[in-house]
């Protein structure tokens, strides 16, 4: 339940976004732009990064969303198998928690792992977008109030719709 009077009757964070969809659609479009564009990162890797960021920010509702997306994608245990993504997750965690402490060495580590500068920019943008959602969710006071199955259904719907904006528009209707 939301801490705010105007949204106190909403059951979850997604309802707040849908209720005021004109306000929040640009953030959804930004997220879609970051997750749907061509990149070295797969959508699944982007969701792994998103989950790492939401964990770093303690955003329970968003953790549920990203976990549901990963389960819908077939990532049963949400563990990273590839060595190449591990430094990305460490960087995403640091950026989410202490962005003022990011250093040239952090970027060198990502390059050494095989990521190019455009992908590093994509990671920075994704961490920023997910942090916006995490802060909103935490600020409103939402916890993971939906069952895991619902988060997975939402993830499956997002995959089938081809992105977050299309799924969001279906919730608006």
Rounded to whole angstroms, the Cα distance separating 127 from 54 reads 9
pLDDT interval class at 36 (50, 70, 90) = confident
* The token pair that represents 158 in the structure block: 């997002």
Rounded to whole angstroms, the Cα distance separating 133 from 156 reads 20
Q: In Å, what is the CA distance from 170 to each residue of 4, 29, 71, 156?
A: 25, 14, 21, 13
pLDDT tens, residue by residue, 79-135:
544 778 999 999 999 999 999 999 999 999 999 999 999 999 999 999 999 999 999
Residue 1: is its pLDDT beyond 80? no
Exposure class string for 107-135: b at 16+ Cβ within 10 A, else e: eeebeeeebeeebbebbbbbbbbbbebbe
In the chain, what are the domains? Answer: 11-172 (1.20.1290.10)
Report pLDDT for 76. Answer: 53
Average pLDDT, integer, range 146-153:
87
């Amino acid at each position: 339940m939301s801490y705010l009077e105007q949204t106190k009757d909403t059951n979850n964070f997604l309802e707040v976004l849908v209720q005021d969809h004109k306000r929040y659609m640009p953030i959804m479009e930004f997220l879609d732009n970051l997750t749907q564009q061509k990149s070295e990162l797969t959508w699944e890797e982007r969701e792994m990064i998103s989950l790492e960021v939401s964990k770093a920010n303690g955003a329970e509702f968003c953790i549920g969303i990203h976990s549901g997306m990963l389960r819908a994608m077939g990532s049963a245990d949400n563990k990273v198998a590839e060595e190449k993504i591990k430094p990305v997750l460490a960087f995403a965690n640091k950026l989410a928690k202490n962005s003022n402490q990011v250093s040239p060495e952090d970027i060198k580590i990502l390059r050494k792992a095989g990521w190019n500068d455009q992908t590093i920019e994509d990671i920075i943008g994704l961490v920023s977008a997910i942090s916006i959602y995490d802060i909103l969710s935490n600020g409103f006071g939402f916890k993971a109030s939906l069952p895991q199955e619902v988060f997975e259904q939402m993830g499956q719907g997002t995959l089938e719709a081809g992105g977050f904006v299309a799924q969001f528009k279906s919730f608006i209707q």
